[in-house]
Chains A and B, each alone.
Chain A
Amino acid sequence: MKLLVCDVEGTIFEPHMIKDTDHASYIWTKIADELGDAAKAEEIITQKKWKANAYGPKDSGMAYINWVKDSIHIHQNHGLSAERFTQIIDSAPYVSGVREFFAVLNRKEYIPVLISGGIQNLNTKACIDLGIERENSFAACEYYFNDKGEIDWNLIFVNSCNFWGKEEIVRILLRKYGLNRNDWIFIGDGVNDKTIAEKASFSIGIKPVGGLADIVDYSFTDFNDLLTCQELLGNTRLVVKK
């Protein structure tokens, strides 16, 4: 048995870019975009602060958490409603071939795991659609809304599952399922996946950016492309034929 560790935004779901930045994610930027120009401008400021280490050293546990909290406040301050948020989640487009890939995933040999620096609600959509256990889905936070339809801050618990935090979760899961340190495959797309891809004994990039292509063993444009690679599928037994 092995873990199939998947990044979410940009890997499972198509990324969303705000113009004038080189930062890509689906959920954070998409929400800011939907909330209007002022929210979008504030989101870009948080990205600049991140790059300038204004949230603390990037390898510390709290830097990413502080960035996420800032981003949540932007959503709160600009009135993200439950209804609009649900629309954004529901309309998130999958990368081509994702559904087909998970439909034939060899689940007797692979436990699918989602680790995202984004919002759990998007992961949950993927868990339901792709047959992934909720307890194997990790994200930076999860949104719940109060009776007025506003984000309920009391129920926001911010997680460190990006950068070094991704690796920590893999360690936990390997131990939980009684697996060895090499019993996992990683699939990712972006610069924040480089560290974890380096640690994986085998890694795959989906339209990789930010230098990830130099690290991964295989790169594909999407999951349809991956499904045509007989060498990969033969070596890993990732999928079963129907």
Chain B
Amino acid sequence: MRLVLAVCLAGLAVPAAAFSPLTEEEAGILQIGLRNTADQFVLPAYEAQAAAADELHAALTDHCAGAAPRTPAEESFVALFLAWQRASIVGLGPVMDAEGPMRVQLWPDPKGFSARAIRGALREADPALLREGGLEGRSIALTNLTALEHLLYGDLVAGTYGCDLAVAIAAFQADLAQNLVAAWRPGAPFRMSFDTAYAGNATFPDVDSALRAFLAGAVVYTDRLRKFRLDRGLGADPGAARPERTEAVASGAGLASIAVSFRTLAELYDVPYGVFDAAPDMGGTMDYFVLAQTARSISESLALEPRPLVEIAEEDGAGAAELRRLSGEVLFHERFLKTGFLDALGLVAGFTAADGD
């Protein structure tokens, strides 16, 4: 490991920012960990999302042309939805532009913006929306996966405006995902900023800032997992479940979303020579190793559950109780990502800057 680091550090000759508590060597170790995480986790996650979006677009195109049943499109939707659940742990970079991650998935949506946007679009049947690029600049309520789920699992009939709108939304999502892939490819402007944070640049004044931004995204991810994917539909106690508030009710992907979320945490911790693997070389904590094992175990257990989340919430029995217990498990991840990892490296967490204002 040391030799690998020494070789890699040779390309990073500029010293860390003066007010970073890290030594030059430590900053370099973290930079390499971040770079490896980008290569082995972030970029593949976005590539999987882009590939799934392309498949969905193709499946919907076939279905809407009357050349295929709806099932392949539904399966492709779930694949894209779950690919996004993995990629959405990345909370920095171009995904945060404009309205941020809600461009991909606007959920929770208690005001029903997506359903309303779809109803409005179907009523007006504006052909401009169906043209290439016709959804650019339109409300995210119309172009996100929640809206597409409304369409796809509604009365989607081949040859109708609604079907063509579903194709257009899938194309929009495919373009969006491709842009994320492009931004994280080595050499792209944003990726260059990320990879050279060690030397300081306009986006990241030092590697500490890049690390904080990366972890802030993961903290938001765990917070959403706990508050929205688990607590929102299941409530705090037996009898408090609200099945209609669970995620992805129509597609039935709500439980898989929770399982993917835990697996995503495990895989992020486990990136070989990734940012978490950098910690032991700096005298930091190895808590991530245990957290990865428990998260993977939870994910595998959830994958064995045949019932959809909405059914578990409706029953509000032992299954719901087990999911409520997982909410507490998520807190361990949240604390570690929020302060534990950075504290162990001697860095101030900077959690108060996560959302600005």
Q: Are these two chains actual partners, yes or no?
A: no
Q: B residues engaging A (CB < 8 A)? A: none
Q: A residues engaging B (CB < 8 A)? A: none
